[in-house]
Each structure stands twice: as structure tokens, then as C-alpha cells.
Amino acid sequence: MPPVDLRSDTLTRPTDAMRAAMAGAEVGDDVYGEDPSVNRLEEQVADLFGHEAAVLVPSGTMGNQIGLRLLVPPAEELVCDADSHVVTYEHGAPALHGGIQTRTLPGGLLDADEVAAFLRPPGWGTVATSAVSVEQTHNRGGGAVHPLPVLQRLREVTAAAGVAMHCDGARIWNAAIASGTDLEEYGRLFDTLSVCLSKGLGAPVGSLVVTDATRAARARVMRKRLGGGMRQAGVLAAAGSYALEHHVERLADDHRRAQLIADALDVGPVDTNIVAVQVHDAVAVAAAAREHGVLVSVVGPRTIRLVTHLDVDDAGAQRAAGVVGELLAR
Ligand SMILES: Cc1ncc(COP(=O)(O)O)c(C=O)c1O
């Protein structure tokens, strides 16, 4: 029996139908802006978020880094929480590529009043805060969703301070489905968003930077400079368009299965598709789970993470819950 792989939601393989859409994609040279499938996808995603433009990039990391650099000049400050993907998993890219200084609040969901007190506007003789980055949903926060009123209040306090907002929306689709929030509602709160077609949507590659037309033109230059200009990228865009059409509503199934696992392990309610479980020895539990055909991630010395996705059905979720539950009971 193949293992149930819950290490990440990026593990899905394109379905046959998605592969067929890729094989049939109309393509051109996207570096010249002439790939019709890419152009269609970019327009579609910009529209979904109510922005003027979107730029296809190879990864969520590149999307974040371009989004951040559009908002934060070198030697100015980005505020985010200490567990954010942008400061935890992107290998120092804000500092290396953007010369961006980061200052972090405690890890987890942001609180608007705490952010307001943390910002440093220009003129204080301090490094000025140029932008706040918000992760929606929050990966290390166990897939938690920033509620819309919190984001709205964050927008108010940042706007009052003249500070921009970036959204690391790798899983913003999960947030939209779980909270019943329209993507456009999210879109209007942020100056730049990076949204992923991989992860829960199941496309093999691709993220988009969503923003206004002026910034999008700069984003295209940054993308090329980073080596992210792709030629017949329409084959990837076709997978993304397919995913948007067929794999967004079904995220509710992933959320239901994550809750099934959480209930079995007694870890309380989860917002979306990520279950973080506190254990005595994460490495040992992950190794034992692997022996029983269940793959989980170690995300801290005492934390394992289980992520539901397109390749995990009800039986797989039950099997994972049974194996991990047994190990925790020992
Ligand atoms: C919250 C978040 N942002 C960004 C990324 C980066 O995406 P990619 O792996 O496509 O670079 C990830 C990947 O897991 C993520 O969880």
C-alpha cells in the first residue's frame, strides 16, 4: 500500500485531466508577453482579486520576494511575525535580494493594535517601516485564518501610518473557502499579494504576484533579473487555470479531513488543511509514523505537521489519524 503523504500540500501530482489541459495549452513566448495562456491566467487572477494586474512567477518564494521588494526599498523595514514563511523558510532572501531589514512580532496571527504600536513611521530617527507582511493562511500557525475584520483593521492602522501591506497568500484560497470571504475582499486590503497555484490547488508549478499595473511592470523586470522569465509558460498557466476552475471549491474536503485528523488526535479545531500536533519527540514520532506508512513533517523539536490535500482521501485521513493516534497513546 503506498504511504499516506501528509508532509505538505505541494506533493500532489497533476491529475490526468490537468495534464490534458497542459498538453492542449496554446503557447507563445511569455518573455515577450506573447503567451496567450499566461496572459489569460494573469488577467483571470488579477480580476479575482480586483487588482489591475498579475504576474506569473515560478514559485511562492519568488512571488513573496518580488512583492516585498515592490513595497520596501533597500535598508528600510518590513514588519511581520517571527514564524512567517518570508523570514523562516526563504533563506534570508529579503536581506540578500532586497537589502530589506525585517523586524518581527511574536510568531502567529497578527493583531492590529500590536502592529500599530510596533510600526515606526519616518522621522523618528529610526529605520522606517515600509510594509507589513501578512500570511494568509498561516503555515506555522497551523493553517489559521486571519479573520477579515482583523485584516481590515490592520489596513486601517497601516494606512494611517503610511505603511503598505503585502499578503503571503500561498493558501489564500483555503482562507477564502474556510471563511466564506470573497477573494476580492482580500485583494482590496493589500498592495501586493503572492498567491500559489501549487499547494492545495494541485498545479505542479506557479504563483502570481497580484498588484497594480505600475508595480506589475516593475515585477516583470525583477522576475527576469531573478531568472524567472519563462518562455512557453502556457503549459504551466493551463494547469493553473484548470486548478482555479476545478480545485478551489473542493478545498472544503481537505479542511473536513484535517478536522477529522485533529479530532482523532484531540488537538482541537483547525481552520483549514493543516494540523499541528505537539508531541514529546517530533523526529521519533515522524520516523515511527513513516514505518507505518504515514509521512508527516517535523516543524519543531516537539511539533509535527499533517497537511491534507488532493491526494489524501477519507480513507487516507483515517489511516493517518489511526497511526499517529496510536503513536501518541504509547
Ligand atoms: C505560507 C507560504 N508561503 C510561501 C511558500 C513558498 O512557496 P514555494 O514553495 O512555491 O516557493 C510556502 C510554501 O510552503 C508557504 O507555506
Q: What pLDDT sits at residue 123?
A: 85
- Residue 297, SS3? strand
In the three-class reduction of DSSP (H, G, I as helix; E, B as strand; rest coil), residue 323 is classed as helix
Nearest residue to 138 via CA among 309, 314, 317, 276: 276
Domain that holds residue 28: 16-246
List the pLDDT tens digit at each of the 330 positions of the chain.
899 999 999 877 889 999 999 999 999 999 999 999 999 999 999 999 999 999 999 999 999 999 999 999 999 999 999 999 999 999 999 999 999 999 999 999 999 999 999 999 888 899 999 999 999 999 999 999 999 999 999 999 999 999 999 999 999 999 999 999 999 999 999 999 999 999 999 999 999 999 999 999 999 999 999 999 999 999 999 999 999 999 999 999 999 999 999 999 999 899 999 999 999 999 999 999 999 999 999 999 999 999 999 999 999 999 999 999 999 998
CATH code of the domain covering residue 315? 3.90.1150.10
What is the value of pTM for the model shown? 0.97
> Is residue 3 a part of any domain in this protein?
no
Question: In angstroms, what is the span from residue 199 Cα to ligand 1's centroid?
Answer: 8
Closest by CA position to 68, among listed 58, 77, 81? 77
Q: Is 211 in the pocket of ligand 1 (CB under 6 A)?
A: no
Does residue 235 sit in the same domain as residue 256?
Answer: no
Dist. CA 60 → ligand 1 center (Å): 5
- What's the pLDDT score for residue 116? 98
CATH number at residue 72: 3.40.640.10
Q: Is the CB of 170 under 6 A from ligand 1?
A: yes
Residue 210 near ligand 1, beta carbon < 6 Å: no
Residue 5 domain-assigned?
no
Last residue of a domain, one of 246, 261, 293: 246
Q: Compute the distance from residue 312 Cα to the ligand 1 centre, in Å.
A: 20
Where do we find the cell 523570514? 87
Is residue 152 located within the same domain as residue 20?
A: yes
